[in-house]
Homo-oligomer: A and B are copies of this chain.
Amino acid sequence: MQKAFRSARSAPSFRAWQPYLDAALGFRNHWYPAFFGAELAEGECRGQQLLGEPILFKRAGGSVYALPDRCAHRGTPFSVRPECYTRNTITCWYHGFTYDVRDGRLVAVVTDPESALIGKLSLKSYPVQEQKGIVFVFVGDIEPPPLIEDVQPGFLDEALAVLPVGDADVVKSNWRLAAENGVDAAHIYIHRNSELVEATGMTLPLGILPGSREGMVSAAPGGPKGIVKGGKEIPIWDADIETARVSARNRPGMGKNRVNPDVSLWLPCGLKVDPSPGASEIPGMIHFEWYVPVDEHSHRYLVTWGKHVGSQQEAETFYGDVETKWRSIIRRFNDDDIAAREAMERFYAEEDGWHRERLFRPDVVITEWRKLASKHNRGIQRAVAE
C-alpha cells in the first residue's frame, strides 16, 4: 500500500511520545484494576492475565492476594486446577508445591515434605488493594506508591458510592486505542443516534473542539497524572457535505440540555467523565472506566458508576436509581466504542498506523495524553520472553 495516503508530512511528531509507542503491554510499576471484588468469594481462586502476565488471585481471610499463575517448579498454572488445603495457601496440582499466598513463599511440598527448597524458594508476590469494589494489583518491581496516585481523582473519596456495571468485556484491540477513544473529543460522533440520545432527548453535538492546550495537563506531585479536556470547548451541531446538511439529532433548544462534562484520562489507563451522561437522569452521577492490557491485542474493559452520597441510605437510593432509570438506556452504548477500538486494531498493529495516522485538531487531547504518559509513566512493560 505504498503511497496510499498522498500528502505532505509534517515533522515526525511521534518522536515526542516514543515511550508510549513502546508500551503495547502497558506501563510497568503501576496499579491496575483487575476485576470486581464481588467476583471472587472467600477461599476462591481466579487466574487472569494482565499486561501479558498470568496472575493467580486468591481471597483468603477477606483479603485478596496475587501470585504469578505459574508454579516456580515447572510453570504449571495453578488456576487450571486450583488446590487449597488451607486458607492461606495455594498448592500446585501437579507436584504439590505449596505457597503462602500472602507472600509467595514456598511453605510445603506435598510430594517431598523435606525439600530443601521450602523456605528458600519464593514466587513474586503482587501487591493488591481492594477499594470501591475493585481489586487493584500492582504490576511492577518497585515499592508501590499509594494507590491514589494511579486512579482517577476522587475515585477513592470516602463519600463516593460506586457501582460496578457488570462483567468486564474483553475487547480485541490494544489498550491504547481504547484509552484514546475514551478521551477523544470527536468520538462522540459514533454515539449521535444511540439509544441514550433517543431515549433521553439529550442534546449531543456531532463533535467537540477542545479548548486550548493550556491547563490540560494535571501532574501535581503526589497525585494522579492525567489529561483534562479543557473548558473552552466548542460544540459542533451541524456540518455540510456538498449539498447535504448533517445535524445533531437533538440540538440546544430542541432537547434536554446536556451538561458538558469534564472528560479526563489518567495513568495508567483510567477515564473519568464528570458528570456522566447519566447525570441527566441521576444528578451527580460520575462515570469511570478502565482499559486494562491483557496482551498486545486485547484489553479488559471495566466500567463503574459513582456518586457522592451523604449516607448509606443515599447510596442505596443511587444504586436503585441506576437500575430503574439508567441501566436499560445505556445498555448497548459502549458497543459503539468497542466497535471503533476494534476497527482500528489492524491499522495500528499491522500497518504501521502509529506512524501513518493523520491527526486533526481535536486530537490535541490525545497527543497531550501521549506526551504525558510518555513522561510520567514508571516503566514500560515488556513481554516475558524478551
Contacts and interface: CB of A to CB of B under 8 A. Distances in A.
A370 to B, nearest CB: 13
A241 B91 contact: yes
Given A3-B124, A95-B207, A96-B239, A74 B110 contact: no
A243 interface: yes
Given A4-B124, A74-B347, A360 B112 contact: yes
Interface stretch (A33-41, A143-151, A186-194): A186-194
Interface in A72-117: 72-77, 80-81, 85-86, 88-89, 91, 93-98, 104, 107-113, 115-117
B74 A115 contact: no
A184 B111 CA distance: 11
A384 interface: yes
Given A86-B242, A343-B80, A73 B360 contact: yes
B358 A241 contact: no
Contact of A246 (B85, B208, B350): B85
A96 B207 contact: yes
Contact of A74 (B7, B141, B353, B385): B353
A43 to B, nearest CB: 13
A123 interface: yes
B340 A94 contact: yes
Contacts of A239: 96, 108-111, 113
| Interface range, A side | 35 or more
Interface in A49-80: 52-54, 68, 70, 72-77, 80
A343 B95 contact: no
Interface in A2-41: 2-7, 28
B111 A339 contact: no
A236 interface: yes
A110 B241 contact: yes
Given A4-B68, A94-B340, A344-B76, A236 B112 contact: yes
Nearest to A180: B74
A123 B116 CA distance: 55
A190 B4 contact: no
Contacts of A214: none
User: SS class of chain A's interface: helix, strand, loop or mixed?
Assistant: loop
Contacts of A117: 358, 360
Given A186-B112, A339-B81, A360-B112, A242 B107 contact: yes
Contacts of A362: 95, 111-112
| Ranked 9 nearest A-B pairs via Cβ | A111-B207, A75-B347, A111-B186, A1-B384, A110-B239, A113-B239, A85-B244, A108-B241, A86-B242
Given A93-B190, A107-B242, A112-B209, 18 more contacts: A4-B70, A4-B124, A5-B124, A6-B104, A7-B120, A70-B347, A73-B358, A75-B344, A81-B339, A89-B242, A94-B343, A108-B240, A108-B242, A110-B239, A111-B239, A116-B361, A351-B384, A352-B384
25 contacts: A1-B384, A4-B53, A4-B123, A5-B123, A6-B104, A6-B122, A74-B344, A74-B347, A75-B348, A75-B356, A75-B357, A80-B339, A85-B242, A85-B244, A89-B242, A94-B189, A95-B189, A110-B207, A111-B208, A111-B362, A113-B236, A115-B361, A117-B358, A350-B385, A351-B385
